A = this chain, B = another copy of it.
Amino acid sequence: MTLKERLVKEALVLFSTKGYMSTSISDVMARAGSSKGGLYNHFKSKEELLLEALSTARKIWRERNLDGVSPDDRPLLQIKRILENYRDRYLPDEESLPGGCIFVSLVVELSHQEPRLAAEVNEGFIRFKGLLTRLLEKEQRDGGLKPGVEVERVVTMIFSGLLGACVIYTSDKSKENLGLAIDSLLEHLSSISR
């Protein structure tokens, strides 16, 4: 593992637990066993390090949450699989993201201070909502939803419920509460299926 990879990995751990502002370059150096010069050889600023870390985080997000989600499955099942992955693979990943969902932490921390960075995170949220919307619309076209179900409303419900679950898990680290929150969303999905 190269120094650069170690730096990004440890930065991700620290940013996810302590946040961006409260994580110092020295913290990252220390955890990666590097020196200041070593770090600034690879990244021209702390912000650039964050951007690299974010990119890695997105990769992790996809690996964890899209695992076992097949385009051939019924769209509603794909969404359920994603929710289960959030509960079983993504949020409890103590090694890569011990602080919980780094996107939630960062968007809350940075939205009023670093709008550009926050906008980049928000972009990811919009893409995720887009994915949910496409899946539900397909399900609706296939006739899998009860009549009268509004896709946008369901997407909002799932999405905000999921973000809330991330906050709760960040705050209390209780797998029980996390399970409850995800289950209530799964149940809601079942209730609109026919």
Contact = CB atoms under 8 A, between A and B. Distances in A.
Nearest to A20: B22
A161 B21 CA distance: 27
Interface of A: 17-19, 21-22, 98-99, 104-105, 107-109, 111-113, 118, 121-122, 125, 152-154, 156-157, 159-168, 170-172, 177, 180-181, 183-185, 187-188, 191
Nearest to A168: B160
A22 B167 CA distance: 20
A180 B129 CA distance: 13
| Nearest 9 CB-CB pairings of A with B | A160-B164, A164-B164, A163-B164, A157-B184, A17-B112, A160-B181, A156-B180, A107-B171, A163-B167
22 contacts: A19-B109, A21-B22, A22-B113, A104-B108, A105-B108, A121-B171, A125-B171, A152-B180, A153-B180, A156-B177, A156-B184, A157-B184, A157-B188, A159-B164, A160-B164, A160-B165, A160-B181, A161-B161, A161-B164, A164-B164, A167-B167, A188-B188
Given A99-B112, A105-B108, A157 B161 contact: yes
Given A153-B187, A156-B181, A183-B153, A171 B19 contact: no
Contacts of A163: 163-164, 167-168
A183 B150 CA distance: 12
A174 B107 CA distance: 14
Contacts of A171: 107-108, 111, 118, 121-122, 125
